[in-house]
Amino acid sequence: MSGDHFHVHGPHDHEIEHAAAHGDKDPFASRVAVTTAVLATVGALFAYEGGATQAASSLAKNDAAIKKTEAADRWAFYQSKSGKQNLAELGMGLLGAQSQNEAVVAEIARLKAEAERYKSEKEGIKKEAEALEHESAEFDHESERQLHVHHRWAQATTAMQVAIALSAIALLTRRKWLQLGVYGLGAAGLALGLAAAALHV
């Protein structure tokens, strides 16, 4: 009795055995199998492109944050120079109210020169900060663009995956209308992939 065993075949097993035994005589199964292989290949390429654009979006977002931090540092430096300029101007005003001896006049001249130096240094720092803010905005824009392209690749990949699942159902049920659905979904996925490729350029 130990040599006896039972093996129960499911409908999918029967279809595989049938396709193996009569594959050359079953054009429906052959067409669905080839279509599934093509869909899987194209879907894998779309998934790769989707991952690449998602990574590019994240990198651009990181670069934007770095530039924004650098701009904030430059603005803090600008404020520091403004504070020093204000102190030098305040010192000039306070000293100007005192008697005009030689030491006071020299100190006023020194403070005036410092105030002018801080004022000119501020202009360069301001331009640097504004340029960094502009770079940050460009990186943010690029991140958003890449994310938009990523969504198109993800939609194309999803359409391909659903078409592959539908092709398995079509093979099991042998329904011609399901096979047409596979072609339709595959075409929709391909169109989405082409749209993503056009955006990616």
pLDDT in tens, 146-185: 999 999 999 999 999 999 989 888 888 888 898 889 899 9
Domain spans, the chain? 33-200
Q: Which ranges of the chain does DSSP label H, i.e. alpha helix?
A: 11-22, 27-96, 102-173, 176-200
pTM of the predicted model as reported, rounded to 2 decimal places: 0.67
How would you class 149 by CB atoms within 10 Å of its CB: exposed for 0-12, middle for 13-18, buried for 19 or more? buried
Q: Over the stretch 38-78, which tens digit does the pLDDT of each residue have?
A: 999 999 999 999 999 999 999 999 999 999 999 999 999 89
Let me know how long the chain is: 201
Distance CA 52, CA 146 (A): 9
Highest mean pLDDT among 33-37, 84-88, 151-155: 151-155
Q: What is the pLDDT of residue 1?
A: 47
Q: What is the pLDDT of residue 72?
A: 93
Distance CA 153, CA 49 (A): 7
Quick one: DSSP state of residue 9? P
Q: What is the pLDDT of residue 69?
A: 94
